[in-house]
Amino acid sequence: MSISSPQTTFTSETLEQQLLQEDALLRGHFRLSSGLHSDTYVQCARFLRRPDLAAPAAAELARQIQEAGLQPDVVVGPAMGGVVIGYELARQLGVPGIFTERDDSGQMTLRRGFTIEPGQKIVIAEDVVTTGKSTNEVARVLEGLGAKVLAVASLIDRTGGKAELTFPNFALLPVTAATYAPDDCPLCRAGIPVVKPGSRPEKAFS
């Protein structure tokens, strides 16, 4: 049985306005951790710090998942971005919520005593699907343990619906963000100062 919030109408426009109000969705000129430049930056942690905002968003994701006839046994939220939304989505669906994280070699894995049983059905929870690469990485880890990945559920799909996934993709807000190589960036040519937000160290790039 799911645990749901009082019935409200939650739309993509609702989420977008909340993200903007919390400075979790920014427009401008940004240098990403990959080294690419972009006109859009997302920092969902600023949104997810608000339980009163996170719970209705997760409730809407849970509603969409259940309406599609999917019932996971476990929700897995990759660290760090998927931990909070994964926990709240698991609460809404009434199932355990665990997370994967990178080991010392940089490989995504289950730690802290978390286990997956063969045959268990999984929903992967993300704050943002950026390219789908990390989501697919998590899926391979889980499938290697014998689990079946039913879907990924996220607040934002930054690919605008173009992520290359082999399972359904539930996202509350599709965002199409332009990215540019640093030496071919129209924002640079326009003289707009570049900002490096976020918490991850910059990767070396030329």
Residue 197 lies in a domain: no
Does the pLDDT at position 197 exceed 90? no
Which whole-number Å values give the CA distances from 101 to 114, 129, 165, in the listed order?
Answer: 11, 16, 20
On whether residue 2 sits in a domain, the answer given is no
The number of distinct structural domains making up the chain is: 1
171: containing domain: 12-190
Residue set of the binding site for 5-phospho-alpha-D-ribose 1-diphosphate: 102, 126-134
39 in any annotated domain: yes
Give me the CATH number covering residue 180.
3.40.50.2020
User: Does residue 93 sit within a domain?
Assistant: yes
At 99 the three-state DSSP class reads coil
Give the residue ranges of the annotated binding site for orotate: 130, 158
Place of tokens 């039913």: 150
Q: Under DSSP, is residue 103 helix (H, G, I), strand (E, B) or coil?
A: coil
- Residue 88 in domain: yes
pLDDT tens figures, 57-94: 999 999 999 999 999 999 999 999 999 999 999 999 99
Backbone angles phi, psi at 19, to 5 degrees: -60, -45
Residue 4 lies in a domain: no
> Looking at residues 168-189, what average pLDDT do you find?
93
The pLDDT score that the predictor gives to residue 169 is 94
Q: Is residue 201, in this structure, part of any structural domain at all? A: no
- Residue 127 and residue 85 in contact, taking contact as beta carbons nearer than 8 Å: yes
Rounded Cα gap, residues 18 and 136, in angstroms? 28
What's the mean per-residue pLDDT of the chain? 90
- Per-residue pLDDT, 206: 22
In a domain, 160, yes or no: yes
Q: Which residues are annotated as a binding site?
A: 102, 126-134, 158
Instruction: State which H helix or E strand residue 153 sits in.
Output: strand 148-157
CA atoms within 13 A on the CB side of 19: 25
As a whole number of angstroms, the distance between CA 29 and CA 193 comes to: 7
Quote the DSSP letter at residue 188: H
